[in-house]
Structure 1
């Protein structure tokens, strides 16, 4: 064989280095003539209610809080964004400006415009095939993970088709009978157990033996005596009802229901996180179990993971719980990054369905800074004295110190009574947060007034009396739960926080994508959730991405 000259040898080494670079993460590799690897797996992660403001809360805490667990490391969201692509997405429904979770998730799942509070339907109300159903039809494994209820709007929209999100009993039945989802892990047991389990001793005993988890509340929301757990078992699903059962589960089909309704909120989870006695699995643990099972399918998989209680904290204007929910979600995101970081066959898309609460840090006229000195030359003859209070970084740690959600604080204040007193509420807030309410502020939280928008047939507006909201009251809609919002709004001035609503806003949300070479072309733009949905379906059905 003829020896290579110096120039050809240098060119060969350079080519080798180029190819070595291509072996790194696919979205950051150099362009070569080598064909882009096929997308075998698609992972969609949805932070329900996670607008740019909520991401900003997490990032400020991670980088600047004294007691941040990140300790100068980046968040998983930032890691994915740095390695992949970052864009934004609008999410408006077919006929309105502001979306709910059902419509938004439906648009992500189908790539088709939908309308308010519908599940898996187009704007006319006709069934549309979802990305999960496309994956199943092609022989791929499928999974749904959420820390809310399995029958809640977001997971439901990927696997079922119903006229309204409130039809959770019908959603539960469709999830089991359709047999489209191989792994389902969440809360919401109440929609899967028979109504007679409360009155019929034999039925209750059988259910207790089947579930074998004393901590679970066995109360049904069904109107019939169908036991969907038995039906699922007959269809080949393994069942799990606590963390240990989840870890020990075998096989390629799994139904895990770990709470009567929603699972532990972020604060409760972080308090129990390192306890060996923790019954509920975390969002991270459910996600990892789903990946373990689904990745066994040689054809690949589609998995949707929802951090759903970011939204619930936003609805309650509860900043401390919101921070913990973001931490919980980012922990699951980090686990996914660890799983995919050396792969070239997986597309990961992280986004939100909408923003909740109109949250933000803001500067105020309360506690204007006193004059102080700075060492710089420009301040030799001048004091440093900003005109307004721009927010103390210490607030981040104070939010992190919160011991109970506003729901928990309200329950503690009420005790065995139906309603707290001003004194009991101030005590409960002081016991569980780094902030305090005055008695006058507590009385404002407890104040009520005639409901100007009374509707006798409405789930929430049928009450003739409503918590008294002094501004933007039209945007606080959830009946007596608005008292929790009022806690948040009273504490807001001590937190340098503003809330504009108890519902959703139209704020475009971030889209972080990680995967093939052309991921930047496809996702680094402002688009609509229907566009994201179409791209997910393309990735599943053609195993490629198209700009």
Structure 2
């Protein structure tokens, strides 16, 4: 079974890499003595977006009978047609596989980093990032993410810490780095511990400032109020969409206690006039409009971070919506850049998550059917295996809740005596197009003594965990998260989907670039992420 999973994921990867290589071979090979320059650099990172995840979006756009992308053309088609495509290895120093912090650091600094480091080279020294270099050149700078502004990817561009978990310290670094526009979630690391007291003055002040849009709860262990410090640094504050639209100059927008809503929820609420949380596209639009006022140019990093989370949980329907969210955002960036000769756009991923792939199977073998062609006059067309129905793509799109919401918001909200396999099956069958039986739900809810128990470990210290059976070591985010991976296994045959892991793989990722002159030329080959970072830094116009 493991070989089949690896093979399925590998087929998707190989096909897309061959496509990339074809594009690269056709690119002009002129040697540039002096690197071309760009006034603006926009780097867009799909966290967890390997070739397989791009392939999911392309399959949906071009094959789904009722695709919302009516002409079948994605933003990736656009940038590939007008720019250049290469591939990049992602590994950290002396590791086969990378995490988001090290990978973002390598993209930001052009230097090798160690696992889980932030803004630090392999030797443990602070490494100057492209954002910091842009600031020295007098350019404006920005960070946008649909996760938390202190999360691993944005942190890699404007913080310097020994570990990605130090989000309280990362928030201080971001503020001290004077990033001009920061739009994301993660308010909890910016407000003092005293804000947890409902009667405190700071709590009441924050509730007024935020207009009740964000949960006021702190994860700081001190009484440092970074919101007040941001005001002293002349930041316009925004805690909801309306405030963001009015904000000007330097902007700090924190729109959620932790992460912003997932792609399914964003899609469902997008047209709600009462919606307070901006979309990834809206945040990106605001950032570009604000930063582009600087005549010297700007650097902006945009992260679609929840592709990775859907991959960790093996949630294909949610991952499709995350890719659609990125597609919408990238389309807007390309629209803005169209006709300009001063902006380099770099689109890549920090790594692939999950080892995802569509695969053919021995389940639900196809029936024979007649074909009009002369070769089939004497026999029916009947493939030996189930190669997957394109209607599956529509069913994935129609998923109503992420797997996380199915468990945390619905199943776990039931009274304890109602948290039964029958209840889980009912919820899953109502929220997805892939029904499970009570027996399957029972397998999802089965538990065991933790075979990887490690006292004090942030992810491995729970003594009783979901029963993973095969490959449990690769589903390392234990506690109840693994119920989502177990649900994915139960619907896999219906979806023609396989997942190899609940963590990252070392699959090389695609690099799409579009920009003036020959600024894209260095990106059109096999690279490592340190080289992607170096080329982006070299493209900054002096």
- Normalised to the residue count of structure 1, the TM-score between the two structures is 0.91
Give unpaired runs (5+ residues) of structure 2: 1-25
1:28 CA drift (Å) = 10
Instruction: For 1:19-98, list aligned pairs within 5 A.
Output: 38-98=37-97
1:64 CA drift (Å) = 1.5
Instruction: For 1:97-496, list aligned pairs within 5 A.
Output: 97-179=96-178, 181-199=179-197, 200-212=199-211, 214-251=212-249, 253-410=250-407, 411-417=409-415, 420-479=419-478, 480-496=480-496
1:215 CA drift (Å) = 3.4
Q: Are the counterparts in 1 of residues 39 and 343 from structure 2 also a CA contact under 8 Å?
A: yes
Describe the SS at the equivalent of 1:466. strand
Question: How many correspondences in the alignment?
Answer: 511
Over residues 487-522 of structure 1, what are the superposed CA-to-partner deviations in whole Å (9 max), with x where a residue is unaligned? 111111110000000000000000000013324531
Which whole-Å CA distance do the structure 2 matches of 1:408 and 1:126 have between them?
Answer: 40
1:89 CA drift (Å) = 0.4
Describe the SS at the equivalent of 1:311. helix
1:380 CA drift (Å) = 0.6
Which whole-Å CA distance do the structure 2 matches of 1:334 and 1:417 have between them?
Answer: 44
1:201 CA drift (Å) = 2.7
1:465 CA drift (Å) = 1.6
For residue 524 of structure 2, what is the aligned residue in structure 1? 524
Describe the SS at the equivalent of 2:517. coil
1:440 CA drift (Å) = 1.0
Deviates more, 1:58-67 or 1:41-50: 58-67
For residue 537 of structure 2, what is the aligned residue in structure 1? 537
Which whole-Å CA distance do the structure 2 matches of 1:449 and 1:462 have between them?
Answer: 14
Which whole-Å CA distance do the structure 2 matches of 1:521 and 1:124 have between them?
Answer: 31
Describe the SS at the equivalent of 1:302. strand
Q: Are the counterparts in 1 of residues 40 and 299 from structure 2 also a CA contact under 8 Å?
A: yes
For residue 504 of structure 1, what is the aligned residue in structure 2? 504
Which whole-Å CA distance do the structure 2 matches of 1:218 and 1:343 have between them?
Answer: 42
Give the root-mean-square deviation of aligned CA atoms.
1.8
Describe the SS at the equivalent of 1:161. coil
Bigger radius of gyration among the two: 1
Q: Are the counterparts in 1 of residues 36 and 518 from structure 2 also a CA contact under 8 Å?
A: no
Describe the SS at the equivalent of 2:144. strand
Deviates more, 1:378-387 or 1:193-202: 193-202
Q: Are the counterparts in 2 of residues 150 and 188 from structure 1 also a CA contact under 8 Å?
A: yes
Q: Are the counterparts in 1 of residues 213 and 239 from structure 2 also a CA contact under 8 Å?
A: no
Describe the SS at the equivalent of 2:388. coil
Which whole-Å CA distance do the structure 2 matches of 1:236 and 1:215 have between them?
Answer: 22
Which whole-Å CA distance do the structure 1 matches of 2:512 and 2:169 have between them?
Answer: 33
1:270 CA drift (Å) = 0.4
Q: Are the counterparts in 2 of residues 28 and 517 from structure 1 also a CA contact under 8 Å?
A: no
1:36 CA drift (Å) = 9.9
- Normalised to the residue count of structure 2, the TM-score between the two structures is 0.92
Describe the SS at the equivalent of 2:344. strand
Deviates more, 1:343-352 or 1:475-484: 475-484
Q: Are the counterparts in 2 of residues 414 and 421 from structure 1 also a CA contact under 8 Å?
A: no
1:457 CA drift (Å) = 1.8
